[in-house]
Amino acid sequence: MRKRQPASHPLSSMRERVPDLQAQDAPAEQRSWPRRGERQGWRESGRERACGQREMSRQVRALSPNPSPASGRGETRLSLAALLLVLTLIPFAANATDAAVITRQGNGKGAAPCMACHGVDGGGMAINGYPRLAGLDAAYLQKQLDDFANGSRANPVMQPNASALSEDERAALAKYYSALPLPAHPAAARPDAGGERLATHGDWSRGLPACTQCHAPGGVGVGANFPPLAGQPAAYIAAQLRAWQQGARHNDPLQLMRHVAQQLTPQEIDAVAGWFAAQPLPAKGSAP
Amino acid sequence: MKSLPIALLGALMLAACSHPATETPAAAKPAAAASAPTKNKAPPGFTPPAEADIPAGPLGDEIRLGRAIFTDTPTQAHDYVGNGLSCSNCHLDAGRLANSAPLWGAWGMYPQYRKKNGRVNSFGERLQGCFRFSMNGKAPPLDSDVIVALESYAWWMSKGAPNGVKLAGAGYPKQGFKPPQPTDYARGAAVYAKDCALCHGDDGQGQQVNGRNVFPPLWGPQSFNWGAGMHELDNAAAFIKANMPLSRGGTLSDQDAWDVAMYMDAHERPQDPRYAGDVAATRAKYHDTPMSLYGTTVNGHLLGSGAAK
C-alpha cells in the first residue's frame, strides 16, 4: 500500500509555503516564507501586487469543486462531515480555534500564518509597514478582521486571509494577540516637528483636532475604537491615512477618520505617521 | 488509493470554510460620502495669535503655564479641581476655537455684571466660577498662580481684539437656536447611542487612560456639577451642535442636538455647591429657568435629589 505523500495531498502546494512548526524558532531571516525580497510594503491599494498569500489563497480556492460563493444548508452539513473526517486524516491541520497554531501555521484552509508578516511576538515588521498586533484591544482586532472579510477595510493581503478564517478563528486570534505582551520597541528616527504639532495640537482652522484627543496622549490608544498609534510602523500609519483619504478603508465609526484624513496633505500624512512611529510604547503593566 | 476522496473532502472543506469570504461583501463607499459639516455662517470676529508667538521670558512662561493649566487642569491645578475635567474639554483648541466659548471672546467682556451672583465680576472671578462649578472644585485665590497664569494666557490670546465688544464666535452659538420640537429624553437617548457613546461611553462616564480622561464624563460624580453652565440646555445644545462629535461639528440636526443635550442634562451629577437645604429651594433660588432640569422630575426621578457625591 502506497504511503500518503505530501505531494499527493490537496493542500500540498500550500504546505510547501507554510513554515513548519519548527520554523517558529528559526530567526525571521531563515524562514522560507514569505520571502523577504518579494514582500511588498503594506498597501491598501488594489493596484499593488499582493504577496504570496493571495496567490496561495487563489490556488487553494481553485481546488474547490464549487466556485459559487453560496453554499446551501445541505452542502454545509456535508462540508461539516467532510471537515471532521479531514481533520482526523490530516495530521498537520490546525485545531480550528487554536489561535497560537494559526499564527504559526495558518489554519490549513487558506489563511496564512500571521507571524509571517506580524512577527513571532506580534510586534509587526516596521520595515515593511506590517503593524504590531500584540497588546491591541481584542474587540478592535476582531472588528478589523471582520471588516477585512466583509470588505469595508480593503487590503489585498488581509482580505483573503481574514476571509479564510472562520468567525471563531477571527475571535480567537484577536484574543490571542490582545493578550501578548508589548514587544520591545526600537528607538525610531527623530520625527519632524510638524508631525508633532498636528498630532498633539491638530489644526482647528481646518476643523482638525489633535490626533491624541482620540488616540490618547502619546498615541497609546483608548478602548475598542481608538487603536494605539505609538510605535506602529510609519509606513503602516501613513498607508491607513491614505486608505481613508481614498476610500479603500471605510470602516471608521462616525466617519471620523475619513473626515480627518481628507484634510491632510501627503507631507502631513508622512510627518504625523513619523511622529507616532517614534513614540514609545506604554510601559509594561500600564493599562493602555 | 485514498488520495482522490481525500482531495474531494479537502476541497469541500475549503469551500465551506471560504464561505465567509463571499458573504455579502460591502460595496466600497466613496470617501466623499462623508457629509461636510455646516459651517457657522459668521466668520470668527477675531483670529488669536499663533501659539508659537508666545514671547520668551517670564511673561511668556506665565502664558505657557496658563495654557498648560487650561489643557490639563487636574494635573496643573490639582488643588482646585474636584473631577477629571479640563478647561479644554468645553473650550476646544485650548480655548482658541470660535463657537466653543473661546478665551478671546470672553477677555474683553469683563468686568461684567452677572445675574448668576448678582455682582460685577472681574475676569478672575469668572474663572473662579469655572473651578467651583464646572470643575466641581474650589475657587483658587485671585492672586494665586493658577488664576494669574490663566489670566495671562487669556490676555495674550486676546491681544489686538476690540475691548468690550461681543465678537462673532464668542460663547456658544445660542442666539436664535431653538429646538424645532420640545426636547425628548427617548429621542436624546437614541442620538446619544448613535453619535456620542463611541467616545463618552454607554454610561456617559467617558474613557480614561492611565487615570486621565481622554473623553470626559458627561454626568455622574466625575463630571461638572449642577451649578455649571453646561447643565443648562441652551448652552449644552449650542455647544453640541457646533462642536460634537469632535471634528464633526455642525453635522447633528438642531433637534438631535437639543434632544441629546436634554438627555445628558437629565442625569444626576454632583450637587450644586450653593445647595440651599432642599432641592425645591435650590431650584427656586438658582435654577428657576426652563433651561435647567434641576429640581424637575424626569422619568420618575427628581433631579438633584440623588446628586452624585
CA dist A242 to A107, A134, A234, B160, B261, Å? 31, 24, 12, 39, 35
* DSSP secondary structure code for residue A34 in this structure: S
Residue A77's pLDDT is 52
Higher pLDDT, A185 or A216: A216
- Burial of residue A236, with CB atoms counted within 10 A of its CB: 0-12 exposed, 13-18 middle, 19 or more buried: buried
User: Chain B interface, mutation test: which of A204, A220, A264, most B Cβ atoms within 10 Å?
Assistant: A204
The reply to whether B84 falls in a domain is yes
| CB contact A66 to B (< 8 Å) | yes
In chain B, the residue whose alpha carbon lies closest to the alpha carbon of A93 is B10
Q: Quick check: B215 and A89 CB within 8 A?
A: no
Q: Quick check: B17 and A83 CB within 8 A?
A: yes
Given a contact cutoff of 8 angstroms between Cβ atoms, the answer to whether B130 and B80 are in contact is: no
**Residue B252 and residue B143 in one domain:** no
The structural domains of chain A, ordered by start, are 78-184 (1.10.760.10), 193-277 (1.10.760.10)
* DSSP secondary structure code for residue A232 in this structure: S
The reply to whether B229 falls in a domain is yes
Q: What is the 3-state secondary structure (H, E, C) of chain B?
A: CCHHHHHHHHHHHHHHHCHHHHCCCCCCCCHHHCCCCCCCCCCCCCCCCCHHHCCCCHHHHHHHHHHHHHHCHHHHCHHHCCCCCCHHHCCHHHHCCCCCCCHHHHHHHCCEEECCCCEEECHHHHHHHHHHHHCCCCCCCCCCHHHHHHHHHHHHHCCCCCCCCCCCCCCCCCCCCCCCCCCCHHHHHHHHHHHCHHHHCCCCCCEEECCEEEECCCCCCCCCCCCCHHHEHHHHHHHHHHHCCCCCCCCCCHHHHHHHHHHHHCCCCECCCCCCCCHHHHHHHHCCCCCECCCCEECCEECCCCCEC
Residue B307's pLDDT is 74
**Residue B119 and residue B227 in one domain:** no
**Residue B149 and residue B223 in one domain:** no
**Chain A residues lying within 8 Å of B22, measured CB to CB:** 69-70, 163
Question: Chain B 250-289, CB below 8 Å of chain A: which residues?
Answer: none
**Residue B214 and residue B143 in one domain:** no
Residues in chain B: 309
In Å, how far is B294's CA from the nearest CA of chain A? 31
In the predicted model, what is the mean pLDDT of residues A15-21?
35
**Residue B153 and residue B193 in one domain:** no
Residue B34's pLDDT is 36
**Chain A residues lying within 8 Å of B24, measured CB to CB:** 150
Given a contact cutoff of 8 angstroms between Cβ atoms, the answer to whether B191 and B68 are in contact is: no
Q: Quick check: A69 and B28 CB within 8 A?
A: no
Q: pLDDT, tens digit, for every residue of A188-198?
A: 667 778 899 99
Distance of CA A281 to the CA centre of its chain: 19
Q: Is A135 helix (H, G, I), strand (E, B) or coil?
A: coil
Residue B39's pLDDT is 46
Given a contact cutoff of 8 angstroms between Cβ atoms, the answer to whether B56 and A280 are in contact is: no
Point out the residue among B9, B18, B245 whose CB comes nearest to the CB of A164: B18
**Chain B residues lying within 8 Å of A11, measured CB to CB:** 10
Q: Cell triple for residue B141?
A: 485665590
Residue A1's pLDDT is 41
Cβ–Cβ contacts within 10 Å for residue A127, how many?
11
Q: Quick check: A217 and B247 CB within 8 A?
A: no
d(CA B257, CA B239): 9
Distance of CA A192 to the CA centre of its chain: 27
Q: Quick check: B207 and A282 CB within 8 A?
A: no
Higher pLDDT, A208 or B306: A208
Structure-derived torsion over alpha carbons of residues B173, B177, B182, B187, reported in degrees to the nearest 10:
-50
Q: How many helices (H) and strands (E) does chain A have?
A: 13, 0
Counting as low any pLDDT under 50, the low residues of chain B are 1-39
Higher pLDDT, B304 or A51: B304
Q: What is the DSSP string of A44-113?
A: --TTSPP-HHHHHHHHHHHT-S--SS---HHHHHHHHHHHHHHHHH-TTPPPTT-HHHHHHH--SSSPPP
In chain B, the residue whose alpha carbon lies closest to the alpha carbon of A158 is B21
| Interface confidence (ipTM) of the complex | 0.84
Q: Quick check: B212 and A4 CB within 8 A?
A: no
Q: pLDDT, tens digit, for every residue of A148-172?
A: 999 999 999 999 999 999 999 999 9
CATH code, domain carrying B260: 1.10.760.10
Residue B274's pLDDT is 97
d(CA B262, CA A238): 40
Q: pLDDT, tens digit, for every residue of A116-125?
A: 999 999 999 9
Residue where a domain terminates, one of B118, B142, B157? B157
The reply to whether B43 falls in a domain is no
Question: Chain B 215-254, CB below 8 Å of chain A: which residues?
Answer: 215, 245-249
Question: Chain A 155-194, CB below 8 Å of chain B: which residues?
Answer: 159-160, 163-167
In chain A, the residue whose alpha carbon lies closest to the alpha carbon of B208 is A222
| CB contact B193 to A (< 8 Å) | no
The reply to whether B162 falls in a domain is no
In Å, how far is A182's CA from the nearest CA of chain B? 16
| CB contact B64 to A (< 8 Å) | no
The count of domains in chain B is 2
**Chain A residues lying within 8 Å of B10, measured CB to CB:** 9-11, 63, 82, 86, 90
Residue where a domain terminates, one of B139, B157, B175? B157
Q: Is A224 helix (H, G, I), strand (E, B) or coil?
A: coil
**Residue B189 and residue B152 in one domain:** no
**Given a cut of 90, is residue A21 above it in pLDDT?**
no
**Residue B191 and residue B294 in one domain:** yes
Q: Cell triple for residue B173?
A: 452659538
Asked whether the CA dihedral B78, A283, A178, A54 is positive or negative, the reply is positive
- Over its C-alpha atoms, chain A yields an Rg (Å, rounded) of 20
**Residue B108 and residue B206 in one domain:** no
Q: pLDDT, tens digit, for every residue of A103-112?
A: 999 999 999 9
User: Chain B interface, mutation test: which of A87, A143, A166, A250, most B Cβ atoms within 10 Å?
Assistant: A250
Higher pLDDT, B202 or A48: B202
The reply to whether B12 falls in a domain is no
| CB contact A45 to B (< 8 Å) | no
> A with B: how many residue pairs have Cβ under 8 Å apart?
175
**Residue B234 and residue B287 in one domain:** yes
Residue A187's pLDDT is 63
| CB contact A11 to B (< 8 Å) | yes
Residues in chain A: 288
The reply to whether B32 falls in a domain is no
| CB contact A148 to B (< 8 Å) | no
**Chain A residues lying within 8 Å of B200, measured CB to CB:** none
The reply to whether B17 falls in a domain is no
The reply to whether B110 falls in a domain is yes
**Residue B148 and residue B201 in one domain:** no
**Chain B residues lying within 8 Å of A107, measured CB to CB:** 17
Domain with B246, as residue range(s), is 185-302
**Residue B194 and residue B151 in one domain:** no
In Å, how far is B246's CA from the nearest CA of chain A? 7
| CB contact A46 to B (< 8 Å) | no
d(CA A107, CA B21): 15
d(CA A28, CA A24): 9
d(CA B189, CA B193): 6
Residue A188's pLDDT is 64
